Structure 1
């Protein structure tokens, strides 16, 4: 396919959910073809482009995105919603579509994955398709359909058998999502969706990973949606306490804590884990304090809590060290699925804004625990907002009390189940409590900045948590 007009690509990027630069001035600097698949005379030509762009605001910076495109001689009405525009090629007009939304295009990727089953790898059209040994065979007749709802990547489902995540924002090197899923799949983890394969290519002398394929969990429910439904059930009849209601989430939270403990244990066995000393503890405290100082400039409402939060972070600097290992790095209820066979933890990609080498650095497992605790605070907060004004003041007061009960029970049962799975009857140590409180506070500070900039009506959720932490309430509930 000929080179694409940069303005055509830029115009499409700003219409997508996954482009992180919406609202910022940018220019497409370069488009490179890394591979192409052909469906023959009757099918599409699918070209995988990597797009480099530069931001033109004071913040500046560059980003790289994957844009697979289907080209047809005629306009395909069935995928009109994914239309990018026309190009002139060899004296004729070709129509371009986002290939992720094109069933025929994704079938070409599926066929290449099937071709890789015999030897574990197949090179098709310049793309390398890898299969994990022992993964279930894929039927080339499976029907592809793009999934909705994702914001940073795109996913394609192959009936009820497999799901392929196509990474939109790219970095050179090994994607942590593939790396960790590969290790946990080979270790036999029951708390993930097993990895079936991945796709990569060469770009500028380096390997760039483009997609990963996992087993589709057809009985799965999004963890945050399940939590919201639980809170909604509880608050619909607030006369009953959380532990008396069908809306109690404590049991699910405990099982999720056990699943996280299993994943952490396998990660400790599979990657380097170490005990770091006082200098590293002090550096962590400094990073948390610096983030707080920066956040106060954006969220003035943090100022009354800042002295006590700094004291929480200062206690980290007093530790004689901390244990670090590979972790999830961006864990919350939205990164979990509840299946008929238990909880599954997904999306080990880490924080999307950081390069791969930083996301792969060892960290404290209490960061993951803290992320989940904050999620248990958000679920009742979101439901409460949706119900505000539906009842008299007494009803709202009782609902708020029940919402606090829901969150406290979920947090407490999650931490207790995680602790018991990790260390048996031994209680949380002073060091562990210090780290957990600090990581929860650090996460809530981040949330306050995010909500101030994006959802001001939600800012009371992290501010409420920071008020409790500043007052000395345990993060675990």
Structure 2
């Protein structure tokens, strides 16, 4: 059985160890949820790395052939795709059920409709989400990290305050790993009538590129009013986070240490992507300005991986999703206090991405480039204006820090694109050529 699972897991899009041999796979936990459905926690060792993954294992065969696309081996398949079995997850949360070491819980006062059937969303890379009807979305965290997931921690706390701009949580599933409660899944409100922020921004950019109107503010798909509202919502989320969780300040010497750490990361990234070396001086200058003017910086809980793909526009509001922090980072780092300007910088970088990524391979790329720059600047400034109007801290002295945080994000993006999407590499590279 373990050999079968090892051969299968290596090819899953959510498996973090692709390209490296699996030295050992063990079944750490095996719980029967209902007949024909087992919940497994797998321990996978690759060299010095040890990771855990969860799997809903369907047993007893698939006589209909419905699950051939998620077949693991003779008689076994990935049952996250089996709506006849995944109803047990809603049932368990509704009833606060314990099954072996698994604890299924619901939010106080939450009334869960257990009659709904699930459908797997197909777009995710690191998790698997089940949509129940048009009411709930249950995210299964495939790769397990001991501890409470920051998303569950944050949305539960914000929901208790009746905070706006979040998808209402309904329940979660947990177990103990290494002696600490560990989140396996979280169920939230499914925003069936909402539109993805990234898709809305791209529609605006496409409209601009196709328009005879040369100005981004005059094109039919002007996005700047939405960017302003998103800025307001971002400030309000930051205010709620500061009121809910502890806050602190980063002393001037700690700010300088942060800059030194980022200098080292820059050097490492230049070694990995030599092309970055031509622009390293721009990053170093931004870092040096922070070191020269270092002052106490307010820090708090933040989103940590903030961009247009993490926000949804409902008919009435902007909703912020996925408070997990940066994927792949240690849990303590994702929960650490940080400047809220880190989120602001992430969104500003996302506007640049939205404006420029459609130019890749475009026959009129050179002609359209000035429009891309104008669109990005218009929406960046609108977002910042909304952030200030919503109560976000954005003082004159913060401009230096914000610029440095953008550079940190762009350096990270260079490494990501070089490893995963080389054709997108010019997008973060452009960040070092623009003087702001």
TM superposition score category, shorter chain reference: over 0.9
Q: CA deviation at 1:76?
A: 4.3
Tell me the equivalent position of 2:420.
454
Tell me the equivalent position of 1:66.
54
Tell me the equivalent position of 1:89.
none
User: Looking at CA atoms only, which structure, 1 or 2, has the larger radius of gyration?
Assistant: 1
Q: CA deviation at 1:373?
A: 0.7
Runs of 4+ in structure 1 off by over 4 angstroms are none
Within-5 A mapping of 1:183-198: 183-198=157-172
Q: CA deviation at 1:126?
A: 3.7
Partner Cα distance (2:200, 2:340) in 1: 24
**Structure 2 residue 72 is matched with structure 1 residue 96:** no
Q: 2:411 aligns with which of 445, 456, 459?
A: 445
Tell me the equivalent position of 1:247.
221
- Give the structure-2-normalised TM-score: 0.96
Unpaired runs of 5+ residues, structure 1, are: 39-43, 87-94, 116-120
Tell me the equivalent position of 1:209.
183
CA contact (8 A) 2:355 2:372 kept: yes
RMSD across aligned C-alpha pairs, in angstroms?
1.7
**Structure 2 residue 97 is matched with structure 1 residue 122:** yes
CA contact (8 A) 2:6 2:25 kept: no
Partner Cα distance (2:415, 2:118) in 1: 39
Partner Cα distance (2:334, 2:212) in 1: 42
Q: 2:389 aligns with which of 420, 425, 432?
A: 420
Distance change >3 Å, CA 62–CA 126, structure 1 → 2? closer
Within-5 A mapping of 1:117-266: 121-135=96-110, 137-266=111-240
Within-5 A mapping of 1:194-343: 194-318=168-292, 319-343=294-318
Tell me the equivalent position of 1:91.
none
Q: CA deviation at 1:74?
A: 5.1
Q: CA deviation at 1:336?
A: 1.0
Tell me the equivalent position of 1:49.
40
**Structure 2 residue 427 is matched with structure 1 residue 436:** no
SS, match of residue 75 in structure 1: coil
Partner Cα distance (2:242, 2:103) in 1: 30
- Give the structure-1-normalised TM-score: 0.88
Tell me the equivalent position of 1:113.
93
Residues 208-244 of structure 1: per-residue CA shift (max 9 Å, x gap): 2100000111111111111111111110115331111
Q: CA deviation at 1:160?
A: 0.7
Q: 2:69 aligns with which of 66, 71, 81?
A: 81
Q: How many positions carry a matched residue from both structures?
A: 435
Partner Cα distance (2:229, 2:203) in 1: 17
CA contact (8 A) 1:238 1:399 kept: no
Q: 1:366 aligns with which of 341, 365, 384?
A: 341
Partner Cα distance (1:382, 1:455) in 2: 11
Partner Cα distance (1:26, 1:238) in 2: 55
Unpaired runs of 5+ residues, structure 2, are: none
CA contact (8 A) 1:28 1:51 kept: no
